Structure 1
Amino acid sequence: MPDLLIAPRHAAHLDRVAEALWLVHERDGYPMVWPDDPTAWLTPPGTIDGWVALADGEIVGHVMLIDGGKVEFAAELAEAAGVPVTGLAGVSRLFVTPAARGTRVAAALLERAEDMPARRGRRLVLDVVDDGGPAIRLYERLGWVRVAAGPASWTDPAGVRPRAAAYLCPR
């Protein structure tokens, strides 16, 4: 993989981020339902900040932070972190294009995101579908601590509430 640059996400990036997200959706079904407005999906209310991973000028990954209260099991995470829910920041919309997988892009994006909450006095948390897949393996390999698991508050396209897990950043 060419040199990787993790840069702040700007509005000018959003069309290209949506194109990268489409590649992920086609390959992995993430997000489970393709949004009517991908740009709005990438900029939901409660967004704190966002970053893109660029390789030779191409967007190969994305991550953003949201208010921690929007993360599954926020109360349990806040208790484990020893902070109020308002003291949390949640990782969201983390993805890497299929061609860039296995090149540490996701780890680099997480590392960049980990720097931001500390400067704002927040603990970093995340939730993920608890399917034992690559995302879970990544978080656990990086030392994230599982705090809670159970049915998600949302339903998949079949109307089923998938199992979700919530993690606390070790730093």
Structure 2
Amino acid sequence: MPALMIAPRHDAHLDRVADALRLVHENDRYPMVWPDDPIAWLTPDGTLGAWVALADGEIVGHVMIVEGGKVEYAAELAEAAKVPVTGLAGVSRLFVTPAARGTGVATTLLERVEDLPPRRGRRLVLDVVDDGGPAVRLYERLGWTRVTAGPASWTDPSGARPRSAAYLSPR
């Protein structure tokens, strides 16, 4: 894979980020429910910052940080971190295109957001579908601590509430 560059996401990136997200959705069903407006899904209220991973100018990954209250089980995460919910920042919309999998893109994106200004002074947290899949394995391999798990607040295409797990960053 060509050299990887992580850059702040700009509005000019959004159509290409949505195209990359569609590839991920078609390959992995992430997000489980394709949004009516992918650009709006990528730019929710409470966004603190977003970044793209580029290889030869092609978007191969994405991550964003949101206010801590936007994460599933925010109260439990805040209690475990011994901070108020406002002391949390949630990792969100992390994905890597199928062609770039296994090349360290997700790890690089996570490492980058750990030290960026929107996160400073806040403990990073995240929620993930608790299916034992690659995302869960990545977070656990990187030292994220599982705090709790249970039904998600949202429903999948069948109307069921998938199991969601909430994690604290290792630092």
| TM range, smaller chain | over 0.9
Question: In structure 2, how many angstroms separate the alpha carbons of the residues matched to 1:77 and 1:116?
Answer: 21
1:114 Cα deviation from its structure 2 partner: 1.0
Question: In structure 2, how many angstroms separate the alpha carbons of the residues matched to 1:90 and 1:122?
Answer: 9
1:119 Cα deviation from its structure 2 partner: 5.5
- Deviates most, 28-37 or 93-102: 28-37
| Aligned 8 A contact 2:48 2:118 in 1 | no
Q: What is the one-letter code of the residue matched to 1:97?
A: T
TM-score normalized with structure 1 length: 0.97
Question: In structure 2, how many angstroms separate the alpha carbons of the residues matched to 1:152 and 1:117?
Answer: 29
| Aligned 8 A contact 2:51 2:63 in 1 | yes
Deviations 1:16-64 (A, max 9, x none): 0000001001101111111111111000001110000000000000000
> Structure 1: 5+ residue runs without aligned partners?
none
> What are the residue-to-residue correspondences of 1:118-133 with 2, within 5 Å?
120-133=120-133
- Is 1:92 the equivalent of 2:97? no
| Aligned 8 A contact 2:18 2:38 in 1 | yes
Q: What is the one-letter code of the residue matched to 1:68?
A: G
> Structure 2: 5+ residue runs without aligned partners?
none
What residue is the counterpart of 1:110 in the other structure? 110
> What are the residue-to-residue correspondences of 1:31-50 with 2, within 5 Å?
31-50=31-50
Q: What is the one-letter code of the residue matched to 1:50?
A: A
**Residues 158 and 22 of structure 1: CA distance in aligned 2, closer, same or farther (over 3 Å):** same
- The alignment-based identity, stated in percent, is 82
Question: In structure 2, how many angstroms separate the alpha carbons of the residues matched to 1:90 and 1:117?
Answer: 14
TM-score normalized with structure 2 length: 0.97
What residue is the counterpart of 2:166 in the other structure? 166
Q: What is the one-letter code of the residue matched to 1:140?
A: E
1:144 Cα deviation from its structure 2 partner: 0.3
- Across the two proteins, how many residue pairs are aligned to each other? 171
3-state SS of paired residue (1:78): helix
Q: CA RMSD in A?
A: 1.0
| Aligned 8 A contact 1:62 1:95 in 2 | yes
